[in-house]
A and B are shown apart, each in its own frame.
Chain A
Amino acid sequence: MNWWRRLVHRGEMERHLDAELRFHFDGLVAENLRAGMSEPEARRSARLEFGGVEQLKEECRDARGTRWIEDLWQDLCYGARVLGSAPAFTLGAVAVLALGVGVNLAEFQVFDAIIFHYLDIRDADSVLHLTRNSRRGPSPGFPHGAVEFYQTHSRSFAWLISEDSTFDVVVEGDAAVRSTLVSPNYFASLGIVPAWGRLVDAQDAQPGAEPVAALGYDYWRNHWGADPNVIGRIVRINNRPVQIVGVLPYSFPRSLLGRMSEVWFPVSMRPLLMAGTPTLQQDFTRPSEALFGKLKPAVSQAAGAVELTSLTRELARQQPRYFRDDEQLEGQLVQQSIVQVVRSRPAVAVFFVMILLVLLSACANLGNILLARGLARRREIDIRMAIGASRARVLRQLMTENFLLALLGAAAGLGFGAAAVRLLLNAMDSPHTLRLTIGWPILIAALVLTMVSAIAFGLPSALQSVRLNQRKIHLRQSLVGIQAAVSCVLLIASGILARSAISSASLPLAFDYRDMLVIYPQLDGRNLAAPVVQDKLNALSTRFSALPSVAGVTAAVVPPLGRRPIIDSLPGLPPVYRNAVAPSYFTVMGLPVVRGRTFLPGEQGVIIVSESAARAVWPAQDPLGQQWQLARAQRTVVGIVKDSGANLLTDADSIEAYVPMEGPDLERTALILHTPGDPAPLVRMIPGSAAAVNETVSVTLMRTSHDNLLEAERGLVILIGSIGSVATTLAAASMYALVAFTVAQRKRELGIRMALGAGPRHILNVLLRQNAKPTVAGAVAGLVLAAILSRLVRSQIVLYKLEAMDVVGFATGLAGFALVSVLATLSPALRALRIDPSTTLHDE
């Protein structure tokens, strides 16, 4: 009979064993009878000769090799009964495990969804973003003529698509709406299926096609009342009648470049939407499209890039004004890998550390609960060992119970995790744009996490129960210490982050970004001479100044809150945010010149610094008239301006410096327009106004840039903040459990003390002193750890304003910890005070 049958047919095995032994025994009896013994005599003698039948049977059962699994089953049954008989303990332990594991699962899922699955497109892992690179540096984008050229001539790509999301539009005369122009094959190639109607497709590329638009899901839901009848309606976009033909699915809220987009047009509509832009065919003047492609199967990424680069050579030959012959095309996967994510957003690493700390805190908590439980069960264990159970056997039994706990914890953790995910997504205000994947990886992660934590932190108390580990006091105190330290770190960290998030959200900007428009003239890459560029800029400025309700126009290479800051790193100084600006910049932006003056027209070799820069560079001297080597020249300080605050959004320490615009700066210049009224109508007028001087521009509201900038890290901060609340709960649960257990365990002693006349103060003192030392020690350790961590966080999270040693943040965290500890201690301690000495002593 094989092993499996021996295990399954246990009853049969027992009957056989019995028959086998009985056969032998009966044989002995018969032999004895034949030898002339009486019946009882024969039986007695046979028993002596044969040995103890029950012992032999036990030995035979061991010999079967199925014993361990039978024991395991027995242990599981017993464990289930034990857990069932102590519901308070079981619930507590499972809740703690579920909290620790559930949070980990939830945060991982949300994180995974934010970082890896926000692109809900076909073949997301093989779509390449193609960029131009030459000796002059990376170029922003491709003109439409080039996109069509690649589409026609490339052989190694299954498809090539383009998108252009550089400008905002006005829908029905209202707010500025973020839009994206896409190539006609865009949605079909990405496998995006409309929620309603149809999306931009090939028919929109036909000559004479009607102007159409598809709405983003969120925009459709929030601004159009989620009304499917909107399809077919004609709306005025940039004052042109455009037919709405469909709604995008909720899973595709952003363009491939990651820009939120509310309205989507075929790229062929650009001339219509932006008066003055050239017709699309053979247009090389406006390099505003981003190019994406998917390689054919069996074509390597390198081969694809080589082919496109050689096609670019050909373009450079045909269009030498717009393409350089040293340009290389490079492909990068749209979907980032985890390594890239951590490298590009180091805050992610901090996030990982924090969720692991939550798990550690939950584990220490569980360890404490199990330890308490072990003490309460000491009698039972002692009895079992006294009647012959081996240490290993009891240990196995205890660990089986832990295993059962882990299973329950995993199940509860999954449930809690699912609920937490929903909460988090609601908090982040993006409930339906993320795709959550609850699959095998999550289930397995839940099981592994709970198993590891239940076993690693259950083993010490199990060992102690069987007396292999005598240092129970140390174990208990170190668990309390770990718990306190981790709780402290988490609370302090979330205190700091919460403060930084609040201070960033209310960061005072010295200029009113709501009243500003940024206009990007398309002057670079056209090989224009500096005076020509200057003339064109002047012409544009004059035109824009003439528009109604425009208070001023100025120019700067780096528009504030934009995506292309120039940062100089100088020895011994904070990062310097450098800008090249026109003399009128400070007036138009509303940045007061505190001392000195602004630039004179055409002036060179001078510099204006912000107040913070003045303090940082010349702490003891008058900055005016000082020399400063910056931007490839020795410059004299002529003025000091108020800090703009825009740089502080990305780097809390940074300082600002302004230099006059020079030749090479000009073609990269953006124009900044200030209007005291609503800037939205201007978005519509500006392209037409530019067209009057034969220029094309793209327009962005500074408000949009501001929102985009803040949006970037907001999700992560909410995630980290949510960890803080879980840490608080865990800290409270652990403190509560500790004191409650102490009360239960020392009930009799407390009763005696009270009978002997101990007052409430004395009783509380007895209760609290026990855990006070490790808690304080843990809190101190936590403080030190938090200080180290905050240094780390500070160097990693750049967006939020973190002070070097955020005293208020630390104090908030510590106070939170103290408050939680006291509150959690209060209820069981008060219960202790209500102990009635006579009943307590009577019970025993």
Chain B
Amino acid sequence: MLQVQQGSLYPALHRLENRGLLAAEWKDSETGRQAKFYRLTAKGHTELKSETESWKQLAKAVRLILESSEANG
């Protein structure tokens, strides 16, 4: 359905880091190699919540429209 190259994740991660929504640190991974670990900051949590909320709203609205048009159609 959605074909996204995996690398495209990184510009997005960096943008979020730049906006202060993500914090990153270098730690040992399970393979023993250094890896960059991202976590949500407090600001990130708030943003996530509000974005989720607005997505739900949008989805609900879209569903309502589709259902009503199906019912009428």
Q: Which residues does A use to contact B, with CB under 8 Å?
A: 3, 16-17, 19-21, 23-24, 28, 49-53, 56, 59-60, 62-65
Q: Give B1-26 interface residues, CB cut-off 8 Å to A.
A: 5-8, 10-12, 14-15, 17-18, 26
- B10 A60 Cβ-Cβ under 8 A: yes
- A24 B7 Cβ-Cβ under 8 A: yes
- B18 A63 Cβ-Cβ under 8 A: yes
A–B pairs, 9, beta carbons within 8 Å? A20-B10, A23-B33, A23-B35, A28-B6, A51-B7, A52-B7, A56-B10, A60-B11, A64-B14
Question: CA of A286 to CA of B5 in the docked complex: distance in angstroms?
Answer: 102
Question: CA of A16 to CA of B24 in the docked complex: distance in angstroms?
Answer: 11
Q: Which residues does B use to contact A, with CB under 8 Å?
A: 5-8, 10-12, 14-15, 17-18, 26, 29, 33-36
**Closest residue on chain A to residue B16 by CB atoms:** A63
B17 to chain A: which residues have CB within 8 Å?
63
- A56 B8 Cβ-Cβ under 8 A: yes
- A53 B7 Cβ-Cβ under 8 A: yes
**Closest residue on chain B to residue A6 by CB atoms:** B18
The interface residues of chain A, by DSSP majority, are classed as helix
- B10 A21 Cβ-Cβ under 8 A: yes
A17 to chain B: which residues have CB within 8 Å?
10
CB distance from A125 to the nearest CB of B (A): 51
- A64 B18 Cβ-Cβ under 8 A: yes
Interface centre among A23, A53, A63 (most CB of B within 10 A): A63
Instruction: Pick the residue among B11, B26, B33, B34 that contacts A56 (CB under 8 A).
Output: B11
Count contacts between A and B, CB distance < 8 Å.
50
B11 to chain A: which residues have CB within 8 Å?
56, 59-60, 62-63
Q: Please give me the 3 A-B residue pairs with the lowest Cβ-Cβ distance, nearest first.
A: A51-B5, A51-B7, A59-B11
B36 to chain A: which residues have CB within 8 Å?
16, 19-20, 23
A51 to chain B: which residues have CB within 8 Å?
5-8
Question: CA of A698 to CA of B55 in the docked complex: distance in angstroms?
Answer: 97
B35 to chain A: which residues have CB within 8 Å?
20, 23
CB distance from A257 to the nearest CB of B (A): 68
- B14 A60 Cβ-Cβ under 8 A: yes
- B18 A65 Cβ-Cβ under 8 A: yes
**Closest residue on chain B to residue A52 by CB atoms:** B7
- A19 B5 Cβ-Cβ under 8 A: no
Instruction: Pick the residue among B5, B12, B26, B29 that contacts A50 (CB under 8 A).
Output: B5
CB distance from B19 to the nearest CB of A (A): 9
B33 to chain A: which residues have CB within 8 Å?
23
**Closest residue on chain A to residue B7 by CB atoms:** A51
Question: CA of A63 to CA of B12 in the docked complex: distance in angstroms?
Answer: 8
Question: CA of A273 to CA of B8 in the docked complex: distance in angstroms?
Answer: 99
CB distance from A735 to the nearest CB of B (A): 53
Given contact pairs A20-B10, A50-B5, a sample of 5 additional A-B residue pairs in the complex whose CB atoms are under 8 Å apart: A24-B6, A51-B5, A56-B7, A59-B10, A63-B15
**Closest residue on chain B to residue A22 by CB atoms:** B33
CB distance from A9 to the nearest CB of B (A): 14
Question: CA of A439 to CA of B26 in the docked complex: distance in angstroms?
Answer: 52
CB distance from B66 to the nearest CB of A (A): 34
**Closest residue on chain B to residue A62 by CB atoms:** B11
**Closest residue on chain A to residue B14 by CB atoms:** A63
Interface centre among B11, B12, B34 (most CB of A within 10 A): B11
**Closest residue on chain A to residue B5 by CB atoms:** A51
Question: CA of A804 to CA of B62 in the docked complex: distance in angstroms?
Answer: 81
Interface centre among B5, B8, B14 (most CB of A within 10 A): B14
B29 to chain A: which residues have CB within 8 Å?
23
